[in-house]
Structure 1
Amino acid sequence: MVTAALAPADEQEPAFTPSARPGLRKIAPYWYPYTTMAKGRWFNREILEVVSTEFRDRSVEYYRYALDSGVTTINGRIAKPGTIIRNGDRLENIVHRHEPPVTSTPVRILHEDPEREFIVIDKPGSIPVHATGRYFYLSLVEILQNDFGYTKVYTVNRLDRLTSGLMVIGLSSKRAHTLAEEFMAGTIKKEYIARCTGEFPTEEITVDQPLLTVDRQMGLNIVHPEGKPAKTIFNRLHYDANTNTSVLHCQPLTGRSHQIRVHLQYLGHPIANDPVYSEKKIWGENLGKGGIDTTPTDERSAPVPPPQFKSAPNPEVSSSAPEPASEPVASSSTDTADAAKKLLPRETGHDIGMGSPVPLSAEAVGVITRLRNMKDEDEDWSRWRDVVFKAKGRLHPKGMRIKPPPPQNRRVRGGPSRTDTPSDAGVYTPSATSTPAEPGTPAPEPDLAQTADGLLFCPECYLPLHPDPPPEKLYIFLHALRYTTSLGVFETSMPEWAGVGWEWERRER
């Protein structure tokens, strides 16, 4: 067990000693076959509409192009943009994954108990717990299996990708189930450390505002009367006048998504470097203090390209009609809609709110719109520059071919697809390119191609490339410090950024 002592409020601690700046951990892009069963929210919708609504990494036109290239099948048959998804359908897709880099700071095993079948780890900020979105091999589960040799790990609780700190992980499904029951019953005491903006009150503060996830794509949560109950207790450890920030001890009594982050925002003291809940470009000068208006509205606006791309072809506007299918489609002709008759929700702005359990207010719609625009800007507007594929042939995923689906009673809901992979197929195998690098060590770079006007893009999937993020933007000042469980009390050391007088490089947008 690694221990960490909490100092009383404003007791002077030793000044921090800066450590080496972390580097980035990368892996080369790779082709990846994936399979999933149709989700309820996809039923009776065109696959292009579903894909362009669920994912925003590429332009609408690219998703049409990828579907026309035949990389997606439904029940073993090629799907086209207008194919309708039905209940019970099995979707299989081959994608060229460009996993975003994560920190080179390694995952640490703090405690290993083979007899009782669990481990305790310290997760660095930037690493997602599970394979999700663009992440797979750089997720915590894959790192534990590939780097540390665990055959199977069973996560019990989750930490946000940007949050660092302690996690208790089962080495058997039985142990994981027991721990999960403890978390659900609220018998595990969880303690976190955070650095927030402003001078936090010296007295203990309790927030019990309900929380609701209103946008799945961006993972946005707000205080909302229709949300799930949530309660957090905050105590100030010290205030740093040099940065006008406070270091807090946080005790969440429930386990909602982004709970500490949103409750601190509600108090007017968001986490100091939170890219979502502490950004004036998204929330305005008030930064969401006291919550936002929840009066529903149906008003939406179509996405507007940034000024520098207004005169260029807009890849976010779908073609007037799909290319004719050259192979059998998954559904009958009566199941295939004419894409030219209507605009997709993403083209009109009505994709905002489609995944929300409640109607959204005008203020919530504005927040989500600005959050999406900020993400696009951070990625060098790559989605709006996604036009290279128009001058290329169909996608060729290095010869991978998806096998016919298994019998109905042997199907699983998700994971790697069943594929025939010739020797030159691009299925990625973790290797030296995926091992942590020492800070400052150059990471492997993917193969690049370049257009006549200097745009760098991937030569296999034609993705416009953008610079890597600076390592300090890959985490937030929120750390899981201590868990008290039936198996014992487990702690990490205090994070460096919690030290008295600690300063960091702030980047203006």
Structure 2
Amino acid sequence: MLISRKGDWFEAIITSGQTGKTIETFLKDEWKMPKKLLHQFRMNKQVKLNNEVVGWNQLLHANDRLQAQFYFPEEQTFPPFYTELDLLYEDEHFLITNKPAGIDTHPNEQGDKKTLSNMVAFHFLTEGLQTAPRHIHRLDRDTSGAILFAKHPLVAAILDKMLEKREIKRTYIALVNGIVKQNKGTINQPIGRDRHHATRRRVSPSGQHAVTHYRVLHRNHKFQQTLVELSLETGRTHQIRVHMSHLGHPLIGDTLYGGLPASIGQQVLHAVRLQLQHPFTQEKIEALAPLPPGIFKHYESVILKQYNI
């Protein structure tokens, strides 16, 4: 679909295959606009046809120009914090950035202004955007790597649905204690809160459905360590950490779940790759996050060969 930005508005040229649809049907079918946004766009007159506000039962014809206001001023929930983002991908609709370890994805306490969301808020300001940052998924404080942010409410709603339908693929690499015997496998165990620890999670029959796939990339018998690739079907809090600990191979540096301490002072977990099909252009997007210095000290050549970073 050809769609172009015109200031705060975006314009789509109607094709022959879309003729005969009403504006409302187009918004639902082509842009997957949810009911709440449909109501908002209708009430605020954020949709035009050939530069005019018309009824949403209006039929579309080939070469019509449908315009929608994707950008509009919003309350800034994240005070901007100045820093340079390590951008892996960016266009008018969303961005993918490489989160460093040691910062939260979003504020967890009142007054916390040095999170990735605050940094993205500053980046939006430099682009003249008054929309609020929307993270589509999260990474733990001590996990680095690729993370996805939406630039406007419509693409946020679309990406949320894509994540729910497993159409956004997230690949992680981790270094775990011990030698993982199987070359690949799946951990399908529900995860719930640990009632004995405020922040800890555990495998629990009454927990939420959680599925993690793993694949061995390298075994280091000398150090009794295994480098593994992991992919998620679900996105539970601490999912990889809980599942690998349950398997008997906690992440190195993840002392909360039984891992041996690491000299770098953090768990060895990195979101190395994020893949999705662009919801508007249908382009296949693949973002690869460079490795943080030092945390995969003996395994960088294996990783670089695997992912061509």
TM-score tier, shorter chain, comes to 0.5 to 0.7
What is the DSSP-based 3-state SS (H/G/I as helix, E as strand, rest coil) of the residue aligned with 1:190?
strand
1:145 CA drift (Å):
2.1
Q: Flag the 1:258–1:135 CA change in 2: closer, same or farther, 3 A.
A: farther
> Structure 1 CA distance, aligned partners of 2:277 and 2:217?
27
> Structure 1 CA distance, aligned partners of 2:246 and 2:178?
13
The number of aligned residues is: 207
1:477 CA drift (Å):
0.8
Could you say which residue in structure 2 is the equivalent of 1:112? 90
1:215 CA drift (Å):
5.1
Could you say which residue in structure 2 is the equivalent of 1:497? 295
Q: Is the 8 A contact 1:481 1:493 kept in 2?
A: yes
Amino acid at match of 1:260: I
Higher Cα Rg, which structure: 1
Q: Deviations over 1:202-235 (max 9, x none)?
A: 4212110110023597321100000111111111
Q: Flag the 1:501–1:242 CA change in 2: closer, same or farther, 3 A.
A: farther
2:267 counterpart of 1:476 = yes
Q: Is the 8 A contact 1:233 1:250 kept in 2?
A: yes
Q: Flag the 1:106–1:216 CA change in 2: closer, same or farther, 3 A.
A: farther
Which of residues 216, 222, 227 is equivalent to 1:247?
Answer: 227
Q: Is the 8 A contact 1:112 1:119 kept in 2?
A: yes
> Structure 2 CA distance, aligned partners of 1:174 and 1:471?
43
1:240 CA drift (Å):
2.4
% of aligned pairs identical?
27
**1:404-419 mapped onto 2 (5 Å cutoff):** none
1:200 CA drift (Å):
1.4
2:162 counterpart of 1:196 = no
2:163 counterpart of 1:187 = no
Which of residues 172, 187, 194 is equivalent to 1:207?
Answer: 187
Q: Flag the 1:199–1:175 CA change in 2: closer, same or farther, 3 A.
A: same
Could you say which residue in structure 1 is the equivalent of 2:102? 126
**1:434-453 mapped onto 2 (5 Å cutoff):** none
Q: Flag the 1:198–1:256 CA change in 2: closer, same or farther, 3 A.
A: same
Amino acid at match of 1:472: I
Q: Deviations over 1:286-321 (max 9, x none)?
A: xxxxxxxxxxxxxxxxxxxxxxxxxxxxxxxxxxxx
What is the DSSP-based 3-state SS (H/G/I as helix, E as strand, rest coil) of the residue aligned with 2:125?
coil
1:156 CA drift (Å):
0.9
Could you say which residue in structure 1 is the equivalent of 2:238? 258
> Structure 1 CA distance, aligned partners of 2:111 and 2:259?
25
1:140 CA drift (Å):
0.8
Q: Flag the 1:226–1:138 CA change in 2: closer, same or farther, 3 A.
A: same
> Structure 1 CA distance, aligned partners of 2:138 and 2:190?
19
Amino acid at match of 1:233: H
1:107 CA drift (Å):
4.0
Alignment RMSD, CA only?
2.7
Q: Which runs of 5+ in 2 are unaligned?
A: 1-82, 279-284, 301-309
Q: Flag the 1:171–1:481 CA change in 2: closer, same or farther, 3 A.
A: same
TM-score by length of 2: 0.61
> Structure 2 CA distance, aligned partners of 1:177 and 1:501?
38
> Structure 2 CA distance, aligned partners of 1:237 and 1:244?
14
Could you say which residue in structure 2 is the equivalent of 1:137? 113
> Structure 1 CA distance, aligned partners of 2:95 and 2:299?
34
> Structure 1 CA distance, aligned partners of 2:84 and 2:252?
24
Amino acid at match of 2:290: S
> Structure 1 CA distance, aligned partners of 2:289 and 2:222?
27
**1:2-401 mapped onto 2 (5 Å cutoff):** 107-114=85-92, 117-133=93-109, 136-146=112-122, 149=125, 151=130, 152-214=132-194, 218-278=198-258
1:500 CA drift (Å):
3.0
> Structure 1 CA distance, aligned partners of 2:268 and 2:159?
26
What is the DSSP-based 3-state SS (H/G/I as helix, E as strand, rest coil) of the residue aligned with 2:119?
helix
Amino acid at match of 1:482: R
What is the DSSP-based 3-state SS (H/G/I as helix, E as strand, rest coil) of the residue aligned with 2:194?
strand
Q: Flag the 1:217–1:153 CA change in 2: closer, same or farther, 3 A.
A: farther
What is the DSSP-based 3-state SS (H/G/I as helix, E as strand, rest coil) of the residue aligned with 2:256?
coil
Q: Is the 8 A contact 2:191 2:202 kept in 1?
A: yes
TM-score by length of 1: 0.38
Q: Flag the 1:136–1:471 CA change in 2: closer, same or farther, 3 A.
A: farther
What is the DSSP-based 3-state SS (H/G/I as helix, E as strand, rest coil) of the residue aligned with 2:217?
strand
1:279 CA drift (Å):
5.2
Q: Flag the 1:134–1:163 CA change in 2: closer, same or farther, 3 A.
A: farther
Q: Flag the 1:208–1:200 CA change in 2: closer, same or farther, 3 A.
A: same
> Structure 2 CA distance, aligned partners of 1:215 and 1:264?
20
